[in-house]
Amino acid sequence: MSDPISLSPAAGFVEPSLHGEFPGLRLDWVTVPARRRNSPPALVARLKALSSRYRGADVVAMRTKAVPQAFRIFFRQIGLDPDVTRIPNEAAAVARLLHGGFRSAGLIEDICLVALIETGVPVWALDADLVDEGGLGIRTVTQADLDRPSPHTLTLSAGSLAVADRAKVHAQLFGPPLPGHEVTSRTTRVALFSVGVDGVPAIHIEEALWTCLEWLG
């Protein structure tokens, strides 16, 4: 890796009505020039090295640690069973066990995976050109979102939590970007965002994005 680039993550908005119900809910994000391409050998090697962290017993023990516990508690708060819909770092660990190692999927996907493994905090990527100037945050899906003529809203429901800007929804909270919002071969700027919940130290959330930025530097 080269030295970190000079861009700094910013705090996204959280809909005021969510503060009381979900204290600690947070989204940080940053926009960076980047394209889809293969990962450099150093990043592929890092994924290979990180694969050795996870054995069957390690996945079970993960649930006793503070950050995974915080995400598991939050999942239950929003009506998700974390033993069925796995929290991001448990999902990554199970995939590693199934595949025998972490598989490189390209630069953007790999930096997000490394950040998740090293910090426990998930990071996702969007095509930044689709993000409104007001920036990213967490809000509830409105009927206006559903009324927009787009097949990509069919998986959403009014009142559910989403990563969005003021104008449109980009992803369900803890879900992948909606079709058409993801990083593609035409993308020239990437919006990276991390999500934290109550019990996850702010420094972990910031570190997740800085980990990505360092690899993009």
In this prediction, residue 154 has a pLDDT band, given cuts at 50, 70 and 90, of: low
Is the confidence at residue 173, as pLDDT, over 90?
A: yes
Q: What mean pLDDT do residues 1-11 have?
A: 59
**Least confident span in 52-61, 156-165, 176-185:** 52-61
Q: What mean pLDDT do residues 133-148 have?
A: 89
Burial letters for 20-46: b for 16+ Cβ neighbours within 10 Å, e otherwise?
eebeebbbbbbbbebebeebeeebeeb
Q: Quick count: other Cβ atoms within 10 Å of Cβ 172?
A: 18
**Tens digits of residue pLDDT in 51-79:** 887 766 667 777 788 999 999 999 999 99
pTM of the model: 0.90
Q: What mean pLDDT do residues 7-30 have?
A: 92
Hey, what long-range contacts does 171-177 have (CB within 8 A, 24 or more apart)?
Answer: 171/124, 171/126, 173/78, 173/138, 174/75, 174/80, 174/87, 174/88, 174/122, 176/124, 177/124, 177/125, 177/126
In this prediction, residue 153 has a pLDDT band, given cuts at 50, 70 and 90, of: low
pLDDT for residue 6 = 42
Is the confidence at residue 217, as pLDDT, over 90?
A: no
